Amino acid sequence: MAKILVIYYSRSGNTRKMAEAVAKGAKDGGGEVTLKDVKECEPKELLEYDGIIAGSPTYYGIVAGEMKNFFDRSVKHHGKLEGKVGGAFASAMALGGGNETTVMSILQMMLVHGMIIQGKTKKNHYGAVSINAPDEEAWEECRQVGIRVATLSGKLFE
Amino acid sequence: MAKILVIYYSRSGNTRKMAEAVAKGAKDGGGEVTLKDVKECEPKELLEYDGIIAGSPTYYGIVAGEMKNFFDRSVKHHGKLEGKVGGAFASAMALGGGNETTVMSILQMMLVHGMIIQGKTKKNHYGAVSINAPDEEAWEECRQVGIRVATLSGKLFE
Amino acid sequence: MAKILVIYYSRSGNTRKMAEAVAKGAKDGGGEVTLKDVKECEPKELLEYDGIIAGSPTYYGIVAGEMKNFFDRSVKHHGKLEGKVGGAFASAMALGGGNETTVMSILQMMLVHGMIIQGKTKKNHYGAVSINAPDEEAWEECRQVGIRVATLSGKLFE
Amino acid sequence: MAKILVIYYSRSGNTRKMAEAVAKGAKDGGGEVTLKDVKECEPKELLEYDGIIAGSPTYYGIVAGEMKNFFDRSVKHHGKLEGKVGGAFASAMALGGGNETTVMSILQMMLVHGMIIQGKTKKNHYGAVSINAPDEEAWEECRQVGIRVATLSGKLFE
């Protein structure tokens, strides 16, 4: 089974709820899943996984500082995440409130790590987004990110 | 009065409806407003305005080819739009469906023209977005883009 | 062998030179490669390939209208490119002249198609870039994009 | 005179050198300039300035965590930076190494603050960039960002 890490930063709990839906999807997609608050995760743990999915609230249009610091610290292991599968999700307070640019900022961090990203043909193309707490549609979009990353990780690593 | 051009491409009519709300806002903000379908506009007309607000549906995550071609053709006048005020709006089919990245692609075209862009502290930070036809909230966000561009153009050009 | 399409738009010839280096890399990476000017390519041809690498000059900070129109027309086949591997390259006239935002605009189009993208840990993280005609380093970065897409396509499709 | 803050994070010293060139330009553009390391700056100080120019090295394709944390903490004053003029600069280790996406990430933070940004018609369109330490051209591009922000701040606030 592909090993998948779902890592998130959440203050209000909205991004955590999204992370749970992503983790559910990663299981549904055949992965062995670990769900972690970024505050309880060390960058070296990233090395243990085939797929990594990161989520953040939208702070000033991009990833929250707490998650950014985590990726900045991962520079110690630069090169070793190459070829792993990545995915992203983000919550915001409004439509047009920075959801997509936050997801893109996370994907850019992953591309610099040499990771592999897959888009989606319908609805949430880059990664899952939610306005405040995930409603039924956002929950399903989160689950789909999990399925997608686990499925691709399975193809590449099993 | 500051002269404002609201220019749009629309196939389904959703972006046109947004354009009308933007034009209403530009008037409310004190501007003298022209509303034009990009198909009926020549790039040289851009030179006549103090503020230019462009809208497009989301096609593959960025501005539609029809609007892109228009900006590409504006290269004949490169340098002459410097210091004009810009704004953007975009429709998409879903939350997370590329609205924000489309707005950002329009803003990038305007920055390359040396234009001046202002963000917004609440809701639609980069430019107005709508899922399909604008609902009441999206209509108001469009109007706010018009107000913002007309107000700033007034400060700089009147 | 994985089938790779290298598609480009070029007016000055700089992006075409990059395309040739990308095609060389795709061969070096084990692919069966077709190199095409976008003007001589129909969107339906995209369906025949496992990996698609698109290149464009930087026009107003994003992909040229000619390449954008091609992707817009590919909407007829939306959903059928899902899971194919993508890559991008772009030429510009200056450092800071829009190279990276052009590459990102191409990658966004590919993600909306549900395609799979891999970043690079060193130098050109998102895709290959060149200031004017590719020098030795840019040529090698282009070749690396070809190798990367062909290698990943091989893993997924052979 | 317009009051301009040039704020930077720098570990190697390259971004600090860029900041000095930006500060020189802001003076040349008629501004009263303060140059500060982000580590010695409190978010509330932002309120005292008409124009704010922020610089960062490229860490994983976007703004460094240290600068991101600073902007995240500025949320206490959200709304009060509206209408101020912004600008950005970034260093990276390679062409295509994330310079432009880092500048764009800073501009996005500023747009969410309701700030005003101006692009540039030639060379560094979004903000000044440098590969490692600024060479003569990058130094001049930095100076131009300072001139541009000070000039626009002068128009709007003097």
Amino acid A158: pLDDT:
83
Q: Do A108 and D62 count as a contact with CB atoms less than 8 A apart?
A: yes
- Does A104 reach chain B within 8 Å, measured CB to CB? yes
- Does C9 reach chain D within 8 Å, measured CB to CB? no
Interface mutation target, options A105, A106, A111, A113, chain D, most CBs of D under 10 Å? A105
Given a cut of 90, whether residue C158 has pLDDT beyond it is no
Amino acid D44: pLDDT:
98
Which domains are assigned to chain B? 3-157 (3.40.50.360)
Q: Do B69 and C65 count as a contact with CB atoms less than 8 A apart?
A: yes
Given a cut of 90, whether residue D141 has pLDDT beyond it is yes
* Short-list A133, A48, A142, CA closest to A87: A142
Given a cut of 90, whether residue B158 has pLDDT beyond it is no
For chain C, the 3-state helix, strand and coil shares in percent, each to the nearest 5, are 45, 25, 30
- Does B77 reach chain C within 8 Å, measured CB to CB? no
The closest CB to that of D95, out of C61, C93, C131, belongs to C131
Partners of residue A131 in chain B, C-beta under 8 Å: 95
User: Which pTM value belongs to this model?
Assistant: 0.99
Q: Do A94 and B128 count as a contact with CB atoms less than 8 A apart?
A: no
Q: Do B117 and D119 count as a contact with CB atoms less than 8 A apart?
A: yes
Angle, in degrees to the nearest 10, between helices A65-73 and A99-112: 10
Question: What is the band of C34 on the pLDDT scale with cuts at 50, 70, 90?
Answer: very high
Partners of residue D156 in chain B, C-beta under 8 Å: 155-156
pLDDT tens readout for residues A82-116: 999 999 999 999 999 999 999 999 999 999 999 99
* Short-list C158, C107, C54, C121, CA closest to A156: C158
Question: What is the band of D123 on the pLDDT scale with cuts at 50, 70, 90?
Answer: very high
- D9 token code pair: 């994070």
Q: Do D117 and B113 count as a contact with CB atoms less than 8 A apart?
A: no
- A74 token code pair: 């991962």
The closest CB to that of A121, out of C114, C120, C155, belongs to C114
- Does A10 reach chain B within 8 Å, measured CB to CB? no
Contact A123, A4 (CB under 8 A): no
Given a cut of 90, whether residue D158 has pLDDT beyond it is no
Mean pLDDT of chain C: 98
The closest CB to that of B96, out of A61, A94, A124, belongs to A124
Question: What is the band of C133 on the pLDDT scale with cuts at 50, 70, 90?
Answer: very high
Three-class secondary structure assignment of chain B: CCEEEEEECCCCCHHHHHHHHHHHHHHHCCCEEEEEEHHHCCHHHHHHCCEEEEEEEEECCEECHHHHHHHHHHHHHCCCCCCCEEEEEEEECCCCCCHHHHHHHHHHHHHHCCCEEECCCCCCCCCEEEECCCCHHHHHHHHHHHHHHHHHHHHHHC
pLDDT tens readout for residues B29-53: 999 999 999 999 999 999 999 999 9
- Does B122 reach chain A within 8 Å, measured CB to CB? yes
d(CA D117, CA D123): 17
Q: Do B114 and D112 count as a contact with CB atoms less than 8 A apart?
A: no
Residue % of chain B over a pLDDT of 70: 100
| Residue A6: strand, helix, or coil | strand
**Closest CA of chain B from C145, distance in Å:** 22
- Does B116 reach chain D within 8 Å, measured CB to CB? yes
Give the mean model confidence (pLDDT) for residues C83-104. 97
Partners of residue D122 in chain C, C-beta under 8 Å: 94
Q: Do A114 and C112 count as a contact with CB atoms less than 8 A apart?
A: no
Amino acid C51: pLDDT:
98
pLDDT tens readout for residues A114-149: 999 999 999 999 999 999 999 999 999 999 999 999
| Touching D: C residues 133-152, CB under 8 Å | 137-138, 141
| Residue D114: strand, helix, or coil | coil
Partners of residue B138 in chain A, C-beta under 8 Å: 95
Amino acid B34: pLDDT:
98
pLDDT tens readout for residues D87-104: 999 999 999 999 999 999
- B81 token code pair: 């739009």
Instruction: Determine the residue of chain C that is closest to A84 in CA distance.
Output: C118
The closest CB to that of C100, out of D100, D124, D131, belongs to D100
- Does D97 reach chain B within 8 Å, measured CB to CB? no
Q: Do A115 and C118 count as a contact with CB atoms less than 8 A apart?
A: yes
* Short-list B32, B38, B1, CA closest to B19: B38
d(CA A102, CA A9): 13
Instruction: Determine the residue of chain B that is closest to A105 in CA distance.
Output: B101
Partners of residue B111 in chain C, C-beta under 8 Å: 61
Partners of residue D105 in chain B, C-beta under 8 Å: none
Given a cut of 90, whether residue B57 has pLDDT beyond it is yes
pLDDT tens readout for residues A10-31: 999 999 999 999 999 999 999 9
Give the mean model confidence (pLDDT) for residues A50-70. 98
- Residue matched to tokens 């592999």: A116
Q: How many CB pairs under 8 A join A and B?
A: 69
Given a cut of 90, whether residue B130 has pLDDT beyond it is yes
Distance of CA C102 to the CA centre of its chain: 11
- At D139, give phi and psi (nearest 5°): -60, -45
| Touching A: B residues 11-70, CB under 8 Å | 61
Amino acid B114: pLDDT:
98
